[in-house]
Structure 1
Amino acid sequence: MSQERTGAATFKSNPITLIGPEIKVGDKAPDFHVNKNLLEEVTLATYANKIKLISVVPSLDTGVCDMQTRRFNEEAANLGDNVVVLTISVDLPFAQARWCGAAGVDKLVTLSDYKTKSFGTAYGVLIKEFQLDMRSIFVVDANDVVQYVEYLPEMTEHPNYDQAIAAVKALL
């Protein structure tokens, strides 16, 4: 059974429980198994030797998640080939592809945690009450060491985009 962090965050000021450990800077990035599409599963090793900016959103079909994903898509264009921007949610791969097509998002990779919630439990962002992944940001270096973490205290707030991008640029 995974660790539960009761009251680790809120949704509209109501406490929620996050499942999994709290990842810290300096930790070895946990592995995960998520879906790139319905048939293709990827892991942390899929992005070996790349700097990974991992943007976690509860659902692309909500306002803050939409804005967060569009912002990191714009930033991804300027980060170079050594960086991959991953957006992870529990949205089905079909919904992620539809949303990206409609939004013109094509510089980042959307990954779905719908099947096993492997990412959510490994990174301590699975919301017990909703079975969604909590908004958060992780920057993982090319050696798979976590260099930046932001767990949002409130699900409806925006992450600190500038700090996350600065953490990536510091690794270039």
Structure 2
Amino acid sequence: MAKVTLKGDPIHTSGELPEVGQAAPDFTLVDQDLAERSLADFAGKKKLLNIVPSLDTPVCAESTRRFNDYAASHDDTVMLIISADLPFAQKRFCGNEGLDNVVPLSMMRDKAFARDYGVLLEDGPFAGVTARAVVVLDENDRVAYRQLVPEIADEPDYDEALQALG
């Protein structure tokens, strides 16, 4: 179990992020068309998992914009934006923001992803959604980089995450 904070108040997660070098846990998440997606759907590509509590918050929105900009010029990489938001809200957000280089995925049917990646918030006002984290996977779905952002209200380290993509 890891600990993060929300405006200084401690919150516990369900576990730890996967270790660098480890095979990433597979997942089943829901895309904007209500189809189930897994790691196999993005085979052969580098993947950046931008794990956020909700796209309806300023920091989550900003990180999605930043990773969308990077993806525009990197065809070998897919940016997965993972949140507890319903697919309809994710689609509306990305449409309103003109973000077409990211793939939003929802945990609406199951929280197994959040538990398997150790980011499910166990207590505090956001219990049941995810902590803020970034996980970079190589083309073979091995963890190349991970960051559990210590303060949920802070942005991730964009430079380190993008460097890990190569």
- TM-score bracket, normalised by the shorter chain, equals over 0.9
The aligned residue for residue 51 of structure 1 is: 46
Tell me the secondary structure at the aligned position of residue 127 of structure 1.
Answer: coil
Which of 90, 98, 103 is residue 92 of structure 2 equivalent to?
A: 98
Aligned length: 163
Q: Counterpart of 2:12?
A: 17
What is aligned with 2:76?
Answer: 82
AA at the equivalent of 1:31? D
What is the aligned partner in structure 1 of residue 147 from structure 2?
150
Contact 1:100 1:106 in 2 (8 A): yes
1:29-83 Cα deviation digits (max 9, x unpaired): 001110013630011111111100111111001010011101111111122x221
Contact 2:17 2:146 in 1 (8 A): no
- Would you tell me which structure has more strand in proportion to its own residues? 1
Q: SS at 2:13's partner residue?
A: strand
Residue 29 of structure 1: aligned partner: 24
Where structure 1 has 5 or more consecutive residues not aligned to the other structure, the ranges are none
> Counterpart of 1:154 in structure 2: which amino acid?
E
Residue 165 (structure 2) pairs with residue 165 (structure 1): no
Gaps of 5+ in 2: none
| Percent of aligned pairs sharing the same letter | 45
Partner of 1:126, secondary structure, is coil
Q: Given the alignment of the two structures, is residue 112 of structure 1 paired with residue 106 of structure 2, yes or no? A: yes
Indicate the SS of the match to 2:165: helix
- Structure 2 length-normalised TM: 0.94
- Partners of 1:44 and 1:10 lie apart in 2 by 29
1:17 CA drift (Å): 1.3
The CA deviation at 1:139 is: 0.5
Q: Is the 8 A contact 1:89 1:112 kept in 2?
A: yes
- Using structure 1 for the length normalisation, give the TM-score: 0.91
CA distance in 2, matches of 1:96, 1:51: 22
